[in-house]
Each structure stands twice: as C-alpha cells, then as structure tokens.
Amino acid sequence: MTVTTAELTGTELATLDAYWRAANYLTVGQIYLLDNPLLREPLRREHIKPRLLGHWGTSPGLNLIYAHLNRVIAARDLNMIFICGPGHGGPAVVANTWLEGTFSDLYPSVSMDAAGMARLFRQFSFPGGIPSHVAAEVPGSIHEGGELGYSLMHAYGAAFDNPGLVVACVIGDGEAETGPLAASWLGNTFLNPARDGAVLPILHLNGYKIANPTVLARIPVEDLMSMLRGYGYRPTLVDGDDPTTVHRELAAALDRALDNIAEIQAQARAGRGPTRPRWPVLVLRTPKGWTGPAKVAGLPVEGTWRSHQVPLGGARDDPEQRAALEEWLRSYRPEELFDADGAPVPELRAFPPTGDRRMSANPHANGGILLRDLVLPDYRRYAVPVTRHGGPPASATRVLGPWLRDVIRANPDRFRLFGPDEVTSNRLDATFQVTDRVFTGAILPSDEHLGADGQVVEVLSEHLCQGFLEGYLLTGRHGLFTSYEAFIHIVDSMFNQHAKWLKVSNQVPWRRPIASLNYLLSSHVWRQDHNGFSHQDPGFIDHVVNKKAEIVRVFLPPDANTLLPVMDWCLRSRQFVNVVVAGKQVQPTWLSLDEAVRHVQRGISIWEWAGTDGGGDPDVVLACAGDVPTLETLAAADLLRRHLPRLRVRVVNVVNLMALQPPSEHPFGMPDAEFDIVFTRDRPIIFAYHGYPWLIHRLTYRRTNHDNLHVRGYKEEGTTTTPFDMVMLNDLDRFHLVIDVIDRVPGLGQTAAGLRQLMVDTRLDCRDYTRRYGEDHPVVRDWHWPS
Ligand SMILES: Cc1ncc(C[n+]2csc(CCOP(=O)(O)OP(=O)(O)O)c2C)c(N)n1
Ligand SMILES: [Mg+2]
C-alpha cells in the first residue's frame, strides 16, 4: 500500500513526542527506581536501586524509532517486527512493550497502573527479575542483542519467504564495526522483492560505543552515504538534536522509505522492476544519551560515550545526583503521561497499533506459533541397497542429496539450505535439480543454478549463513546449514547465543518451540586430501557439548544409510541444536536401511556380525564413532579375526554421541546397566573416535568401566597426505588399533608378539609406499569387509 507522504499534524507531533517521553520515562524508571514510580513524592534514597545496572545511552534513540514505527504501522496497517541491534537497550524495548499492553498481557502482575509500573521498574536487571537485554523474556524479540553484530542478518533471515513482513532493524554504529554486521549489508543480494519481505535497516549513528567514538560517525558523512550506496541501498540521513525537527524529519523519512518499499514490492510482484532494487536505509544521527543529564560532575555526558550505561551512578547516596535524577525524570512531565491510576493517558493508549500488529505481539516474533511441520519424503526410498555388510561403496552426503532435493521441493515456502559456497563440494548438488542458489546480482551465461528464486542460500560467510538461518528459524521456518567441519568454528559464539536463547525460551511459557538448528558438517578432519592441516579441526563437537544437555544433540553416522534416518530425525525435531558429521567420500555402506534405523533408535549398537564374541563374553571391545574410525575399527576387527581367531572381539558403534553420557546428564544417555552390558564392566575398550579423544573420556568418566577405556582420535597431527597416512599420523589406523588390543588384553602381549611386530612393520611399509607412489598401499586401498 502506498500512502502519500504528508507533514505531521500538530496533534500527531504532540502525541509522538508524548509517547517518546513516556517511553524514556519508563526506561529511566527501570534503570533507577525501586519505588515511587510516578514521583508522587520527592525522590528519597530508598526509592533508588542499590545496584544501578543497565544502559541508558542507546535508549532514547531506540524509543524514538519505536514510537515512529508505531505511527507508521498504525497508519499503514503494516505487519512489522522490530530487531534491536543494541540489545543492551533492553529497558527501552521493555518500556514500549508495556505501553503497548503486551507486557501486561503476558505478565499480568506487571499491570498497566501504578502498582504494575512499580513492578516493571523493580524487576528490571534485578535478582529474580528480567535481564538487562532484549532477551527471550521480552515480547516481540527474536534477537537478544547481547553479543553485537547479528541484527541485520537476523532481519534478512526473518524476511526470507515472508512476503507480507517488514523487518525494522536498528543497528548500533558500534555494532556496525563488527565483521558479521559489516558482511550483513550483502543481504540485499539474497532478498527477492517478489517472494520475500522487506528489511528496513536503521543505522543508529549516536556517535559512540562504550568508551570510544564510532568509526562511521567520524568519517565524512558523504563517505558513509557512499558506502551504503555502494552496497546498493538508498540511504537517507536524519540528523539533529531538536526533538521537533527530528520528529518531523524522521516521520517524513520513514514515510518515504515505506512508500519506496511498497513501490519496489508492487513492481516486483507485477513482474517488473529490478530483482536487486535499491532498498531504503535510514541513518539516524542523534545524540547518545539524548534528553539525559547534560553534565555529571562537570563532565559532559549527553552526546558522549559517558552516557552509555548509568549516567548518575551515585544517585542513591549523593543528594546532588539524586536531585539531578529527579529533575531528569520530571523533565518528561510524567503527570501529563500517566493518569491518576498510573496508566498511560488515553491518547497514549490509543497511539500504538493493536492486537497482533503491535511489534511486541507480532506472531512472527514467536515463530513457534506459525511453525508448520515439514512435508518429509520417505527416506527409505533413497537408501543404498545392502545385501552384505560393508557392501556397496557410497558417499553419505551424495546419498542424502536426492532426499534433501525432495525436502526442498515439498516445502517451497518453509525450508532453506544454507552454506558458505560448499553445497556442491559437500556433494549435495542434487538439490539444484529443483532449485537455484538465490542471487539477485548479475547472472552470466557461464553461471550455474543461480536465480532470484532459489531455496539454497550460498554466501561465503559462515556468520551470514548462521545468522540468516537463525532469523529464518526464529520466525517459524526450517533449515539446514552445511559447512566444512573445521570452519564451522567461525560461528562458535553465534551457536552459543542461539543455544542460550533456546534454553531460556524453554522456560518462557508463552514462547512456542521452534525448529531445531541443524548443522551438517562434511569435508571433515580425516579427508583433507586437497587442503591439509588448515582445514582440519573436529573441535566444534567439543564446543557444542558444553551447552545444556537439553539443547544439544550430536550424531556421527557411520555410513550413508545411517545418515538418512539421522537427518530425518533432525528435521522433525524442535528446540535443539543438532550437529551431524558425515563424510562426503565414498565409503563402505555397513548397514541395511532397517539396521540403520534401529541403530539410530538405539544410539549405540553392538554390531554382532562384525565381532567374534558370538554375542557372549568378549575379551575386548572395539568401539567406534565416526565414518573413518568405523572403517579402521572394522579393518582391525578383520585383522584380529584372521590372525587371532580365538580372541573374542565385540564391535560397538556409536551414532548418537550423547548416548555415552549417563541419563542423569543427558536425556539421550544410555542407562548404566545397559552401558555396562554393551561395554562390559571389566574388559579393555579400544575406542576409535572421530574427534579429540578427551571428549569420550569426558562423556564416560562416570561409567563403571571407564578405567579400561582407551581412546584413539585426532591428536592434532595433520597435513596434506593420503587418507590412510592421515589416520596413521594420529595412531587411529587399523594396525595401531590391533597393537592397542595386543597391549591391553591381559596375556596377549606374549602370545601375539609376532602379530604386534607385523603390525609395526606394516605401518612402516604403508608409510613408505605413500612416500614413493603418492597414494595408499593396495593392502589398505583394496581392503573390504569379508563377505
Ligand atoms: C561482539 C561484542 N563485543 C563487545 C561487546 C561489548 N559492548 C556492549 S555495548 C558496546 C558498544 C556498542 O555501541 P553501539 O553499537 O554504538 O551501541 P549504542 O551506542 O547504541 O549503545 C560494546 C562494545 C558486545 N556486547 N558484543
Ligand atoms: Mg553507538
């Protein structure tokens, strides 16, 4: 809808300003006041919180933007959500949600009257209350904004496949210095004006961070505008420190921006206009800490970095500061804003939009409400036919590709695959049979599978992939992030924040569960033939398991058929972060689909067909997790079967890593009694693991047989070499596993001395062969599980 831009009337301006003052008053009240919320008596020491915690500096700007957005939402009946980059401005956003009535709807004790206002103030940044940031407890938020940098990518993710939504996104000028935010400007090249919603970035150029000026505020303003133009935007500057002027300019700029968005969308949806239009951006240059104390102790505060947190830090004990605080609060004229009961006066109550149009009540910001299940094709149809164990060689991710293709096809409006330029490399290119990589830049005849309508988002920034996906999930859709295993560490910290968000939202009753964040990590540590050490690091798993057990799941499918039910489970699940590590290289397929399904359900299975204990009492347990360790373990089991036929070997495979923990630690944990049966109470366990060995010890340290557990894994030995040389470098190879068995099974040292020496010699031969011929020894290359 295009609304002709008109000047604000005097009444509109007065109401906007009153609403802004009310939000500012409520913000200051939250930061400082324990009691006397309406200043009906002079401010006394006991009215002020003993610990003053919060951030004032960003808040007046946030309140100004929120007030103006409320005006345009109501005028245009917009479907809009608010993303607050400077999430430390929590009290500002909370103030607005209270003025809109949503806070009281969801937390009835914080009612819209004097008693409720007192509770609103008291609970903020207070033990047992709400956090200082725009956390999951805050209605309308999908973005905590604690760790800066992710606002704009969340905004783009929210807008994808949401054609009716406008995402207003405030970006701190300090936040804009972060790498992730700097990359986020590229989001416009992945946003299709016909099928997606709109993002309205508002750069909050208040000039300062915590203790420094910001870069973007101290370069010539024309350079800043040129930078934004260079990224393809149409920037408008609103600049000033006189409220009336700024209200008028901001209202006009917002109207123009929204007219512009409406025009862009109308054109695109009529099949006209550019696919990569110049979307509007607002640059709001107003003072940090605007309307707060101009000076404290003789030093300038308003308009400087000193306003960042709590300007009058001594207000409780210093009468002069207390008087300044009272003067500051009274400057908003609360008696004009709140009635005798403490409720906002009727003009203010009538000002914000109503119902779901309130940004604090918009269902897109509580995505679980809108979440619909995926239509998932039956994965059995995609399985590798297995007539004997270890039979047909297959690349796990290549087998997954057609299933993923059909997931994409069946869910065109609610599933996306994200990757940093690695979808083809990770062998998932079957997806391109039904969709493109979304791209609104220039497309050349030599390009493949690029188009404005794709459901695959490929951008060479793990930050953007993660942030887009988070925004997409948090607004009620589904997705998968595929990446190289080593480089997923780039988003360690973003994963942390998302996991924390999920943990807290589990405790917020009105938040509905959202789809899990799924990682498919391929091109893993053991197969870096092209690249070597720089591309090797299996430590993301270690990082992930630090988080709450109720949130994280880690799967290491040993073959293609096991990957299928694992991914199916992940895409059906809610409120988790699922990490799946699967190879893309051709490997034996160990299990039939039926066996794979049962294996995934158990999490840990004895592979009786691979062992020699006849289902009975083993001398040793060979355990494995991960595709390459499984291959080496089975090759070791084969060697033992041939050379030590009387040795009773049990082979155990772990597909669900969390099953190693006791149930008291993780909901997937295998009960102790069962664990003791599978791993025995007293026999040596040689565990070949995909990643860093310590993790297996950490997960199993409480188990009965932990003292007999000996783990082989990646010990940071990597380079560009053959696949088998790589496992030898880390002592994870089949020959070394046999040596480990000989060294650990009581009595074998003497009887199997010859075999041990043969294993040592074979390792040397294999190493020597790689140096001479540049590939693995045929004894390794040509090995297959005996039928
Ligand atoms: C990634 C990250 N680094 C550092 C911080 C610590 N920090 C909190 S607020 C802030 C300054 C933010 O400045 P700006 O984005 O300009 O926000 P505003 O001026 O609106 O407060 C910093 C550095 C953080 N929250 N996140
Ligand atoms: Mg700033």
Average pLDDT over residues 591-617: 96
Please name the residue ranges forming H helices in 514-645: 540-544, 560-572, 593-602, 627-643
Please determine, for residue 342, whether its predicted confidence score (pLDDT) is greater than 90: yes
What pLDDT was estimated at residue 1?
A: 41
For the CA of 61, the nearest atom of ligand 1: 20
Which residue among 175, 177, 290 has the greatest number of ligand 1 atoms within 8 angstroms of its CB, and so is best to mutate? 175
* Chain centre to alpha carbon of residue 192: 23
For the CA of 214, the nearest atom of ligand 1: 16
What pLDDT was estimated at residue 548?
A: 87
For tokens 């909050």, name the residue: 204
Question: What are 668-690's pLDDT values in tens digits?
Answer: 999 999 999 999 999 999 999 99
What pLDDT was estimated at residue 5?
A: 53
Q: How far apart (Å, rounded) are the C-alpha atoms in residues 650 and 241?
A: 76
Q: How far apart (Å, rounded) are the C-alpha atoms in residues 762 and 510?
A: 62
Please determine, for residue 184, whether its predicted confidence score (pLDDT) is greater than 60: yes
Q: How far is the CA of 76 from the centre of ligand 2 (A)?
A: 30
Residue 424 φ then ψ, to 5°: -70, -45
Q: How far is the CA of 187 from the centre of ligand 1 (A)?
A: 22
Which residue among 62, 65, 88, 215 has the greatest number of ligand 1 atoms within 8 angstroms of its CB, and so is best to mutate? 88
Please determine, for residue 524, whether its predicted confidence score (pLDDT) is greater than 50: yes
Q: How far is the CA of 447 from the centre of ligand 1 (A)?
A: 40
**Ligand whose nearest atom lies closest to the CA of 145:** 1
Q: How far is the CA of 688 from the centre of ligand 1 (A)?
A: 44
Which residue among 209, 215, 493 has the greatest number of ligand 1 atoms within 8 angstroms of its CB, and so is best to mutate? 209
Residues shown for the chain:
787
Q: How far apart (Å, rounded) are the C-alpha atoms in residues 732 and 718?
A: 13
φ/ψ region of 476 (left if φ > 0, alpha if ψ in -120 to 50, else beta) reads left
For the CA of 173, the nearest atom of ligand 1: 16
What pLDDT was estimated at residue 348?
A: 98
Nearest to 542 by CA among 714, 719, 731: 714
What token pair was written down for 130? 């709400």
Q: How far is the CA of 489 from the centre of ligand 1 (A)?
A: 22
Asked if residues 67 and 12 have their Cβ atoms less than 8 Å apart, the reply is no
Q: How far apart (Å, rounded) are the C-alpha atoms in residues 192 and 273?
A: 11
Q: How far apart (Å, rounded) are the C-alpha atoms in residues 124 and 126?
A: 5
Smallest CA separation from ligand 1 atom 16, residue:
174
Q: How far apart (Å, rounded) are the C-alpha atoms in residues 331 and 453?
A: 52
Nearest to 687 by CA among 639, 633, 728: 633
Q: How far is the CA of 245 from the centre of ligand 2 (A)?
A: 21
**DSSP state letter for 130:** B
Question: What are 72-129's pLDDT values in tens digits?
Answer: 999 999 999 999 999 999 999 999 999 999 999 999 999 999 999 999 999 999 999 9
Q: How far apart (Å, rounded) are the C-alpha atoms in residues 424 and 447?
A: 14
Which residue among 148, 175, 214, 493 has the greatest number of ligand 1 atoms within 8 angstroms of its CB, and so is best to mutate? 148
**Ligand whose nearest atom lies closest to the CA of 307:** 1
pLDDT-above-70 percentage for the chain: 99
3-state secondary structure of 296: strand
Asked if residues 34 and 48 have their Cβ atoms less than 8 Å apart, the reply is yes
Q: How far is the CA of 287 from the centre of ligand 2 (A)?
A: 9
Which residue among 210, 283, 309 has the greatest number of ligand 1 atoms within 8 angstroms of its CB, and so is best to mutate? 210
Give burial (CB, 10 Å; 0-12/13-18/19+) of 443. Answer: middle
Distances from the Cα of 30 to the Cαs of 41, 59, 391, 570, in angstroms?
18, 12, 67, 41
Nearest to 465 by CA among 498, 513, 514: 498
For the CA of 146, the nearest atom of ligand 1: 25
What pLDDT was estimated at residue 531?
A: 86
What token pair was written down for 683? 């026999």
Nearest to 692 by CA among 543, 521, 493: 543
Asked if residues 172 and 269 have their Cβ atoms less than 8 Å apart, the reply is no
Q: How far is the CA of 398 from the centre of ligand 2 (A)?
A: 47
What pLDDT was estimated at residue 787?
A: 76
Max CA-CA distance within the chain? 99
* CB neighbour burial string for 743-764, b if at least 16 within 10 angstroms, e if fewer: ebbeebeeebeebbebbeebbe
Smallest CA separation from ligand 1 atom 17, residue:
172
Strand partners of residue 482: 520
What token pair was written down for 536? 């090797």
Q: How far is the CA of 166 from the centre of ligand 2 (A)?
A: 24
Smallest CA separation from ligand 1 atom 21, residue:
58
For the CA of 171, the nearest atom of ligand 1: 15
Asked if residues 604 and 685 have their Cβ atoms less than 8 Å apart, the reply is no
* CB neighbour burial string for 209-232, b if at least 16 within 10 angstroms, e if fewer: beeeebebbeeeeeebbebbeebb
Terminal Cα-to-Cα distance of the chain (whole angstroms):
69
What pLDDT was estimated at residue 6?
A: 66
**Ligand whose nearest atom lies closest to the CA of 54:** 1
**Ligand whose nearest atom lies closest to the CA of 171:** 1
For the CA of 147, the nearest atom of ligand 1: 26
Distances from the Cα of 736 to the Cαs of 432, 647, 656, 772, in angstroms?
42, 17, 25, 22
**Ligand whose nearest atom lies closest to the CA of 174:** 1
Q: How far apart (Å, rounded) are the C-alpha atoms in residues 146 and 178?
A: 13
What token pair was written down for 764? 């040397």
Residue 502 φ then ψ, to 5°: -65, -45
Average pLDDT over all residues of the chain = 96
DSSP string, 484-515: ETGGGGGGHHHHHHHHHHHHHHHT-TTSPP-B
Smallest CA separation from ligand 1 atom 25, residue:
147
Nearest to 590 by CA among 785, 389, 392: 389
Smallest CA separation from ligand 1 atom 9, residue:
210
What pLDDT was estimated at residue 2?
A: 43
Q: How far is the CA of 308 from the centre of ligand 2 (A)?
A: 8
Q: How far apart (Å, rounded) are the C-alpha atoms in residues 651 and 612?
A: 9
255 sits in which H/E element: helix 243-269
Asked if residues 63 and 349 have their Cβ atoms less than 8 Å apart, the reply is no
Please name the residue ranges forming H helices in 33-141: 59-76, 90-99, 102-106, 114-123
Q: How far apart (Å, rounded) are the C-alpha atoms in residues 558 and 625?
A: 7
For the CA of 176, the nearest atom of ligand 1: 15
Question: What are 688-705's pLDDT values in tens digits?
Answer: 999 999 999 999 999 999
For the CA of 493, the nearest atom of ligand 1: 1
What pLDDT was estimated at residue 185?
A: 98
Number of H helices, E strands in the chain: 26, 22
Average pLDDT over residues 165-189: 98
Average pLDDT over residues 229-250: 98
**Ligand whose nearest atom lies closest to the CA of 133:** 1
What token pair was written down for 36? 């006397």
Please determine, for residue 609, whether its predicted confidence score (pLDDT) is greater than 60: yes
Q: How far apart (Å, rounded) are the C-alpha atoms in residues 486 and 471?
A: 24
Which amino acid type is present at position 680? T
What token pair was written down for 103? 């806070």
Smallest CA separation from ligand 1 atom 20, residue:
58
Smallest CA separation from ligand 1 atom 14, residue:
174
Q: How far is the CA of 302 from the centre of ligand 2 (A)?
A: 13
Q: How far is the CA of 294 from the centre of ligand 2 (A)?
A: 17
Please determine, for residue 4, whether its predicted confidence score (pLDDT) is greater than 60: no
Give burial (CB, 10 Å; 0-12/13-18/19+) of 340. Answer: exposed
For the CA of 206, the nearest atom of ligand 1: 19
Residue 555 φ then ψ, to 5°: -125, 140
Question: What are 268-289's pLDDT values in tens digits?
Answer: 999 998 999 999 999 999 999 9
Q: How far is the CA of 174 from the centre of ligand 1 (A)?
A: 6
For tokens 């301006």, name the residue: 13
Asked if residues 258 and 279 have their Cβ atoms less than 8 Å apart, the reply is no
Please determine, for residue 290, whether its predicted confidence score (pLDDT) is greater than 50: yes
Higher pLDDT, 58 or 391: 58
Question: What are 374-433's pLDDT values in tens digits?
Answer: 999 999 999 999 999 998 899 999 999 999 999 999 999 999 999 999 999 999 999 999
What pLDDT was estimated at residue 780?
A: 97
Question: What are 425-480's pLDDT values in tens digits?
Answer: 999 999 999 999 999 999 999 999 999 999 999 999 999 999 999 999 999 999 99
Q: How far apart (Å, rounded) are the C-alpha atoms in residues 285 and 312?
A: 24
Ligand 1 contacts (CB < 6 A) are 57-58, 86, 88, 146-149, 172-175, 178, 204, 206, 208-210, 214, 288, 308
